[in-house]
Structure 1
């Protein structure tokens, strides 16, 4: 009986270790198109979730891990697209506080682009974009997020002219 319990316990540990390793290696957050103002002080980065289950953006920092002046998330659809703004007054583009939005699964920007190219995109498809404004040109975004209780960090480079 002790052997049976030990085998079950070890099996559970191995399954959780395997799942943890899989999630760490296959980060679910993906980024797509990056749009910026001419001075690169405002950017919008298309993001999505290629994993299963929702993910939550915890923090977005710029360049050398500095707090941005303004930070929002756009929830729209591929037919409407994103707006690049320094004011975030464009309510019709679904601009929200980043802590109020969960990124749903199967929302990869690549998948959205394929749907647009195939003519199968609808207004029910969700597209997400992180909008950031900073007082100096933005070179990198450091996105910290959680997925199934695990913390991840993704760095997105913004190509400067």
Structure 2
């Protein structure tokens, strides 16, 4: 009887290790659109989730792990796209769905590559949700570091702006 118990534990441990390794070596956050305003003090990074569960953005920093002046997530649709702005509250910006990072989870199956394909094929619609991280900083942004959580594992994604 004890032998069956150990075999079950071993099989579960191998399955857990396999899933953990798969997630670790296939991070789900995918980068799409990159946009900057003059001087790189305002940037937008289109992101999506090619994974099986939601992704939660934990923190965004710039350059040498500096805290940006302001950071929001745009929750828009594929036909509308993104906006680069320094004022999240003006009438023109409001329709782009600016939200606080802690209030948004990036839904599964929102890969920018899939959205681009739908746009190319003419099958994209307002139902296709897209996400963009909008970052403002007092100095030029050369790098954005996105810290996110998936299946309880924390990842960092570095995005360089030249």
Q: TM-score, normalised by structure 2?
A: 0.96
Count residues with an aligned counterpart: 159
1:16 is displaced (CA, Å) by 0.7
Match of 1:66 in 2: 66
Q: Does 1:109 align with 2:106?
A: no
Structure 2, unmatched stretches of 5+, are none
1:36-115 mapped onto 2 (5 Å cutoff):
36-89=36-89, 90-115=93-118
Match of 1:35 in 2: 35
Give the Cα separation in 2 of the matches to 1:7 and 1:152. Answer: 32
1:35 is displaced (CA, Å) by 0.3
1:11 is displaced (CA, Å) by 0.9
1:157 is displaced (CA, Å) by 1.1
Task: State the Cα deviation string for residues 69-106 of structure 1 (Å, max 9, x = none).
Answer: 00000000110000001111211000110110110011
1:141 is displaced (CA, Å) by 0.9
Give the Cα separation in 1 of the matches to 2:155 and 2:23. Answer: 9
Q: Does 1:121 align with 2:124?
A: yes
Task: State the Cα deviation string for residues 95-135 of structure 1 (Å, max 9, x = none).
Answer: 11011011001111111111011000010110000000011
Structure 1, unmatched stretches of 5+, are none
Match of 2:156 in 1: 153
Runs of 4+ in 1 over 6 A off after TM superposition: none
Q: Does 1:18 align with 2:18?
A: yes
RMSD: 0.7
1:145 is displaced (CA, Å) by 0.7
Task: State the Cα deviation string for residues 18-51 of structure 1 (Å, max 9, x = none).
Answer: 1111001000000011100110010000000001
Give the Cα separation in 1 of the matches to 2:128 and 2:30. Answer: 16
